[in-house]
Structure formats: structure tokens, C-alpha cells
Structure 1
Amino acid sequence: MNVERIKNINHITVLVFGDYMVDSYINGDVKRISPEAPVPVVEIKTRTKKLGGAGNVINNIISFGAKVKAIGCIGDDENGNFIKEEFNKMNIDDAFFGIDKNVCTIVKTRITAKKQQFLRLDEEKKKLLPKEYYDYISENLNNVFEGVNSLVISDYAKGAVNEEFCQLLIEKAKSLNIPVIIDPKGTVYKKYKGATVLTPNLKELNDYLQYEVQGDSALTEAGFKLREDCEIEYLALTRSEKGISLFSKGSREDFPALAKDVIDVTGAGDTVVASIATLMPLGFSMPDLCKLANQTASVVVSKFGAATCTLDELMATMEDTGEFKLISLDTAKYIVEDLKNKGKTVVFTNGCFDLIHAGHLYSFKYAKSLGDVLIVAVNSDASVKKNKGDLRPIINQDDRIKMICELECVDYVILMEDSNPVNIIKNIKPNISVKGEDWKNKNVPEQKVLESYGGKIEFIPLYQGKSTTNIIEKILKVYGSNE
């Protein structure tokens, strides 16, 4: 996965359409039960408002660092004004957003105490958007899609997302090769026909089928049925703690969720939609997008309320998992720069690591103890042959890399095509480069590069009696004598 692409996220603009609403929170303390009825008394401490529904998708997109164009229609009322003010604060392009006196802005009010929800009050009137607004968007469709890289349709089944409006936007997006990502609701899915990605959860899948899916084989059958019924390219079925099941033409692939302390799952689906819509235009594959969506969702569910995931939080989560350990040199440059900006000490070491043994493990652990993050460069098969002769390596580069990626003390791995690490160090600029003490008083090719930017070399003790050459010689002695 080329994580370097994420750097370009600020060039992405997502068009968002759907049901917009306000999430209102009344937070307080509960110290007694009411004498009037067996209910808790909440002493109000704070009142807050946030964008909800399609607005929470926007919160997530902006949090990642991308731009947003918003279309939809809200009421000419206090809560509608709040939504417009929030758009203005976030520099949302709302030139084609509608306000209508006949529309009532939806509000969901949650009464909470100590991060627990006691009650939710909904103020809503489910209505289709005014025909005048549909006609307005239809007449200005080219301008609406100008500069757009992806389209999100966030359906909360409140009336805005009808078949006519959906198909108008989907057909236009398809004609421009713009991906369409839809978060669906209800039982009428024909309105989503032709979308790129549909992201229902299990309950929404059951609602569509109008029966509860039981068992894994039934889930597979249901997933393929929904994909075919809607004529979509991908079905990304979100399954809570089980992660995401991706259905594409003829295949199903499962992407487990990351283990996290779950505080509140509110808005996790919006985060998945936002991450796919924001990262897909950067060229990530759907399997990679599912992995990244799981990463972002793991951040959101660890927070209270309809939360978001920032780009920095996504990168930090990627640092905590081995899923992305093997990286390119370009990606390594970006990651090291980000780590150093956060005050982290980056340690680097390199080698062939053929027939990994106790000496290698000792050197990795020692190197990691010198800083916060350890990057290991592994010589390619070609560079090993150049350094050690045509009979080496014993273990090919793919298998050597796989084994090193499994080590907890190793954070990132780079394949090194050169015979020495000068080029890698010149590009990523680690704080420390680690060599065995047998290199002391020898010509170390990378030393001048390190010193040029303030880096340093640390010579560490060798694990006595352990080397790949000794192991090979012992194997030859033992098995050679049996021939």
C-alpha cells in the first residue's frame, strides 16, 4: 500500500448529498431519582450542537483534510441557521445548498450523563425535498460537479434521498467517471442502482431482505444478491466488531476490525463512508480502502458521541499495527517526517537477515531500545548476491521480509536494492543508524550522510557466536557427513 498518496488528500473534493440534521447534546450529572416518577434527575451542565446525518459525513471528510461541496435542503429555522453557520466555519462550498421555509430541519437531542445516553428526543417531519430544489440542481448539474472527485449519498430515510434525485446524481457522476459511495437505508434499494460502493450494516441488509440473515453461507448469498440487485461494483458490508465484508464480482473478502475499547459506535458508519469517499480518488484499491476504513472506525468508536478521525490519528493507528509494515521508500519519507514532527526518535538498521537467528533478534531489540520507532532495510536477493556471492541468500527476500514483519519490535520494513543504505538514509533521514560494533574504525558509507543533517551512528555489541555463516557451516558439517 502506497501510504504516500494520503499526502494528497487536501486536493480531494467530495460532493455530499443526503439528509442533514443537527445532533444536540444535553449533558449533566445524575445524583438522585425523581420523587415524581422512577426516573433519574439530570442536572444540566452543558448544551452542545453538532452537524448530524449527512453533516457528520462532512465532519469526517473535513477532519481528514479534504474539501466538501454540500447539496441538500434544510429549513429556514434556528437549526437550519446553525447548519449554515457550521458550513461557513469549515469553508464548505454550499453555493448549491437549499433553504426552504416549508422544510423543518431535523434535530436529534440526546440527554447524557457520564458518557451514558439516557434519552433521545427526535424532532422531524419526513418529507421529500421541494420540487423547485430538484429542478434547480438539475439545471445546474455541470456546475455542481465542477472540481468534484467523488460523490457521497448519505441516506437516513428522512425523505431527501428519493429515486429521482439519486439517479440524477449517480448518472451524472458515472458520466464523469466519479465514484459514488452510498450509505443506504430502508427497503427500496433500486434508487441506488449503478453506484460504485454501497456500505450497509447488517441491520440495513436485513431490512432490505425483510428477513434476518443466519449463518455465514447465508450472509455470502445475501451479499451477492444485494450487489446484483443494485448493479453496484462493490458492496462493503460493515459488521461491527467483525469488521467489513467486501463483495465484488464473484468474490467475498473479509477485513477484521481492529481491537479497541468501544465507548460509542455512534457515527462509525459515517466515518467508513467518508474514508472510502476521500481516499478512493487517490488510487487506493477497495481491499486497501476496507483496511483503512477499519482503521478510522477504530478511532471513532473509542470516543463518545458522533466523533471523527483526523489524518494524524489515522497515521498513528497505522503505526500501531503490522498491517502496513512493508513500505516503499517514498512512503517511508512521509512517515519518518511525520514521526519526527511529533518528537519521535527514528532508529534505522539494515542487513541481509538470511536465516534469521538469535543474533538478529538481539540486534533488533537493542536497536529499538535506542528510540521510539525501528525501521529495518532488508537487502534484496540481487543485492545479497552482489555482496555475498551467487549461492546466497538461502531464504528469498519475500520470506525474509515476512518473518521480520512479524517481529513486534520492528515497526517498518523497506526492501533495499542497493548494496549499502546510503540512498535510503539520504531520503528518510533517521535520527540514529545502528551498526554492529565490528564496523567500528571501518569505513561506514552512510556516515557522512548521517552527519550532514545531524543524525548519528550507534555501534552495538554483537551476540557472540551467532552468525548466518556459522549456521550454514554447521548445517553442511552435520548433513554433509551423512551423504
Structure 2
Amino acid sequence: MRIVVVGDVMLDVDLSGEATRLSPDAPVPVVDVSGVKRRAGGAGLVARMLAEDGWPVTLVTVLGDDDAGRQLEAHLAGVRLVSGPSGHPSPVKTRVRAGSHPVVRFDQGCGKAPVPEASPAMLRAVEQAGVIIVADYGRGLAENPQLRDLLARLAGSVPIIWDPHPSGPQPVPGVAVVTPNLAEASKAAGAYANLQDTATQDPAARAGRILMEHWQSRAVLVTKGEQGAVLLQQGSDSAQAVPAPRVEAGDPCGAGDRLAASLAVHLLAGRELGEAARLAVHDAADFLASGGVSALPDPAGPTAAAPKPPNQAAGRLRTSEPLLLARAVRDNGGTVVATGGCFDLLHAGHVRSLAAARELGDCLIVCLNSDDSVRRLKGPERPIISQQDRAELLLAMECVDAVMVFDEDTPEAALERLRPDIWVKGGDYKGARLPEADLVEKWGGRCLTVPYHPARSTTGLADALAKVS
């Protein structure tokens, strides 16, 4: 069944470089731009995430008749696009980053826009949905009366996830779940009730309860960044805390879009909302740990890497999101293989072991120790390479399909979430029972070893580099 994303799109531009001096004209940093990346933002980002994960997705939106609008169409390659004219310039949001730090963002064409028309083709596309995401970015599409009437009629039979915007309208009644962040929820709820008296109640739960009553939605999921989320559901007097795994992430951009996309996938699979919310929060954390929007490929860029040829069992379901990949491969009858380690300096031994592990199944997911985890295990001088760079190097290998970063000293917690069919370690464990064996066997998995290459090690490589430095 098809996932339909309805909402506003914009062109996101990232300018990245280094700032090593101040401008002589004013005390502001001078950024020497070394990289420019463009992508579809807003509802376009949600649709692209789903398309890259292999899900059948339609994006219903409006586009401006300008250069930015044409760039957006190019960056939405692989997405079934049903669009009408916006009648106004395409919004462009440009962020400037120095190293990992944002310096400034400037917006073009982002003022208040008139409510666009919804064409018959757009309305027909919405009617064909198995699940709907309304990604409202305050540009007017969610205010269209014909579209709102249709969504209200469908709400009783089709799960609708509504990601609201402070400048947009309130959701139509009866949607399955609304997903504001805490700031958005507090501002919206403050228009209906006094939120000052929250000393004995979680502010997120209080705001969510107010919004659920006034918006007449079946549930509200208030997201709280690294603290996870709080789920309120009609018919339940208690709020359900949804904790997030601890990850190191520099740029939270796109986490809300990843959460909405994952909710749609899990609801489409028939999971109940509480379980879908838990999985979606973890998917969003994994997305950020894997590099967030900066790690997304550019389908329109001339240097974009070609996707790896998928195996028959996985179909087009290769994804940078390890949990989604594992579920997709498993649902298609494939075998999920996982391995783990620090992979601080990649060497030939790693390459051979990873290639051998990939031959055992239909996808290979690497459980990667975070920087903090490596420091605790190896000492304060390690890692030599940061976790984001280590993940990027691993993903560049033909045999690696996804990377899951974990912060604990051992991979047990990551394995509990991933539940691979096969857990692989190097052959230096040969003759000994693997430490993770009891856990993996709990869900019917197997532990295997692949050949070990003792003459090749990260420590040996680091020592050799130290001698020539």
C-alpha cells in the first residue's frame, strides 16, 4: 500500500567550510566555503527518506515556477510527484556552517504565502493512500479547504500522521496522531489553557493532553529531543514515556521528518501506536547518529554515489537506517547479518572479515562503538578517527549496508533492538563461546566466526603510523 506525503516543500542549501579569521569590515567570521549541498526540504525530505528506504511513496505538494522549483523536482527523483502550481516563489533556506557549527541561516521567499489550489489529481492521489503524512511547514497547503475536507473524511479509515507547524492550521479532527515538538506543543496549548501550573505534571504531557482535547485527534506524540517523547492517547488517563537512546549528534535537522516517516511505516505494517512510537523514536536517533541530513545522498548531484545493487531478498530496501533495513529484509524473507567493533583504522583484515560476513546473508549491519565507548575500552588517546567518519568509511564499503552506533561498552543493547539472524565475530574467538551467544540465541539467532588475520590490526597500524609521523 502507498504512503502519501502531503505538505509544503522548500529547497534547503547547506554551505560548509572553515572559519579561521574575522572580517575586517565587522567582527564576524569569514567562512571559506568548501562544499555546497542542496536537497528537498520539508515534505520533500520526508518523501525522499521513504523513497530511499524502498517504500512506495507519493508526494502531494505545490511548486513554484522558478529555478528553485525546478531544482526541487530534480532533487525529488525517485518520488512519485503529484504537484500543482504554488503561485508564489519557491522558498529557499540556506544554512552556513563553519566546521560542525552553524553560523547563520538566511531565508528567501519564506514570507506568508496564499493558500494554494488543490488540483483534482492531487486529491485523487490522497484518496489512494494506505497511510498519510501531513508535513505542514506553514506555507498554506494544509489550509486548503478541499484538501482538509478530504483528510477529515479519510481520518476514520486511513491512519493520518500530522506534523504541525506554528504558522499552519490545526489538524483536522480524527487523525491518528499529531507530532509537535515540545516548543510547538507548549505554544499551541497556551492558546487554550494556562500552562503555568505544571509543577506536578510533565509539561509535555500537560500540553499534549490539552491539544488532544481541542484538536480532537486520537493521539498526540510530543517529542522532546534527546529526552525522547511523550505519547497521549484517547481513552487512556496516563501518558506513556518514550525514551530515546543516547547518541552523539551534532545536527538535529531532519529528526522530526525521520520520526514522521518511520511512524507511517510502522502503522502501515499494522503495529499499534505505542509500539510504532517507540520504534520511530529509535529510528530518529539512529538517523542522527548516522550523520543526519548531511549523510543523505544527493540524487541530483553529478558526483552522487550510485546505490549498491540490491540483493533479491532485500529488493530496493537498502537504507542507512539499520532498524528499518533489518525489518525490511526480514519481511522480505531475507537473512539479517550483524557484526560489531570499533573499526578505528580500517585495514585489510577488517575488509576481508566484513566481506566474509556479508556473504552469510542478505544485508550486513555494523554495530559501531561510539567515541565515548572507544575511549572507555581503549584509553584516552582513542579513537583516532571520529565515529561519524568511521561510520562514513564503513558505509562506503560495498559489503556494508548500514551502521548502528552504540554508546555502551558492549553491543548487547544494540543487538536487543536489532535482533539479527546471524551475529559474526572474527576468528580469534574460535573455540570459545561468543559473549553475545546467550542473547542472540534468545530470538533464534546464530553466532558465527569468520577468518581472523592476526598480522593486521588497528594497534599495529597505529604504531606504524606513529613511527613515521
1:167 equivalent in structure 2? 148
1:291-341 per-residue CA deviation (whole Å, 9 max, x = no partner) reads 11121111222355635788654435999xxxx9xxxxx889755467733
Distance apart, 1:64 and its partner CA: 2.5
Structural mapping, 1:33-432, within 5 Å: 33-87=22-76, 89-90=77-78, 92-94=79-81, 96-100=82-86, 102-123=87-108, 124-130=110-116, 133-134=117-118, 136-137=119-120, 141=123, 143-145=124-126, 147-162=128-143, 164-174=145-155, 177-186=157-166, 190-210=170-190, 214-215=198-199, 217=201, 219=203, 220-249=205-234, 250=236, 251-302=238-289, 304=291, 306=293, 312-315=319-322, 334=334, 336=336, 340-341=360-361, 342=363, 370=433, 374=437, 376=438, 410-411=439-440, 413-414=442-443, 430=446
CA contact (8 A) 2:249 2:291 kept: no
State the alpha-carbon separation in 2 of the partners of residues 239 and 41 from structure 1: 34
TM-score by length of 2: 0.64
TM-score by length of 1: 0.62
CA contact (8 A) 1:162 1:191 kept: no
1:266-306 per-residue CA deviation (whole Å, 9 max, x = no partner) reads 11111111100122111111111111112111122235563
State the alpha-carbon separation in 2 of the partners of residues 145 and 24 from structure 1: 29
> Quick one: structure 1 residues 311 and 232, their matched pair in 2 at CA, closer, same or farther if it must change by over 3 Å?
farther
State the alpha-carbon separation in 2 of the partners of residues 70 and 61 from structure 1: 10
Distance apart, 1:157 and its partner CA: 1.5
Q: Which moved more, 1:112-121 or 1:181-190?
A: 181-190
CA contact (8 A) 2:322 2:365 kept: no
Q: Secondary structure at the match of 1:148?
A: coil
Q: Which moved more, 1:155-164 or 1:201-210?
A: 155-164
Q: Secondary structure at the match of 1:192?
A: coil
> Quick one: structure 1 residues 344 and 234, their matched pair in 2 at CA, closer, same or farther if it must change by over 3 Å?
closer
Q: Which runs of 5+ in 1 are unaligned?
A: 1-11, 325-329, 346-365, 377-409, 415-423, 434-453, 455-483
State the alpha-carbon separation in 1 of the partners of residues 289 and 100 from structure 2: 12
State the alpha-carbon separation in 1 of the partners of residues 364 and 202 from structure 2: 50
CA contact (8 A) 1:26 1:46 kept: yes
RMSD over aligned Cα atoms: 3.4
> Quick one: structure 1 residues 369 and 37, their matched pair in 2 at CA, closer, same or farther if it must change by over 3 Å?
farther
2:11 to 22, 27, 40: 22
State the alpha-carbon separation in 1 of the partners of residues 201 and 431 from structure 2: 45
CA contact (8 A) 1:59 1:308 kept: no
> Quick one: structure 1 residues 268 and 368, their matched pair in 2 at CA, closer, same or farther if it must change by over 3 Å?
farther
CA contact (8 A) 1:151 1:178 kept: yes
1:398-451 per-residue CA deviation (whole Å, 9 max, x = no partner) reads xxxxxxxxxxxx23513xxxxxxxxx7xxx7x4659xxxxxxxxxxxxxxxxxx
> Quick one: structure 1 residues 311 and 231, their matched pair in 2 at CA, closer, same or farther if it must change by over 3 Å?
farther
CA contact (8 A) 1:112 1:119 kept: yes
> Quick one: structure 1 residues 308 and 182, their matched pair in 2 at CA, closer, same or farther if it must change by over 3 Å?
farther
> Quick one: structure 1 residues 190 and 116, their matched pair in 2 at CA, closer, same or farther if it must change by over 3 Å?
closer
State the alpha-carbon separation in 1 of the partners of residues 256 and 21 from structure 2: 35
State the alpha-carbon separation in 1 of the partners of residues 335 and 435 from structure 2: 13
CA contact (8 A) 2:131 2:159 kept: yes
Distance apart, 1:209 and its partner CA: 2.0
Amino acid at match of 2:185: L
1:87-125 per-residue CA deviation (whole Å, 9 max, x = no partner) reads 2x22x212x31134x321000000112121101001123
Distance apart, 1:60 and its partner CA: 1.9
How many residues were matched structurally? 337
State the alpha-carbon separation in 2 of the partners of residues 369 and 283 from structure 1: 41
State the alpha-carbon separation in 1 of the partners of residues 208 and 200 from structure 2: 10
> Quick one: structure 1 residues 126 and 189, their matched pair in 2 at CA, closer, same or farther if it must change by over 3 Å?
closer
Distance apart, 1:222 and its partner CA: 2.7
State the alpha-carbon separation in 2 of the partners of residues 431 and 226 from structure 1: 48
Q: Secondary structure at the match of 1:200?
A: coil
Q: Secondary structure at the match of 2:148?
A: helix
CA contact (8 A) 1:163 1:191 kept: no
2:400 equivalent in structure 1? none
Amino acid at match of 1:200: P
> Quick one: structure 1 residues 311 and 145, their matched pair in 2 at CA, closer, same or farther if it must change by over 3 Å?
same
> Quick one: structure 1 residues 317 and 164, their matched pair in 2 at CA, closer, same or farther if it must change by over 3 Å?
closer
CA contact (8 A) 2:152 2:172 kept: no
Distance apart, 1:30 and its partner CA: 1.1
Distance apart, 1:190 and its partner CA: 4.1
Q: Secondary structure at the match of 1:194?
A: coil
State the alpha-carbon separation in 1 of the partners of residues 240 and 169 from structure 2: 23
Amino acid at match of 1:206: S
Q: Answer 1 or 2: which has greater helix percent.
A: 1
> Quick one: structure 1 residues 60 and 413, their matched pair in 2 at CA, closer, same or farther if it must change by over 3 Å?
same
> Quick one: structure 1 residues 261 and 64, their matched pair in 2 at CA, closer, same or farther if it must change by over 3 Å?
same
CA contact (8 A) 1:16 1:151 kept: yes
Identity of aligned residues (%): 23
State the alpha-carbon separation in 2 of the partners of residues 19 and 343 from structure 1: 36
State the alpha-carbon separation in 1 of the partners of residues 163 and 293 from structure 2: 16
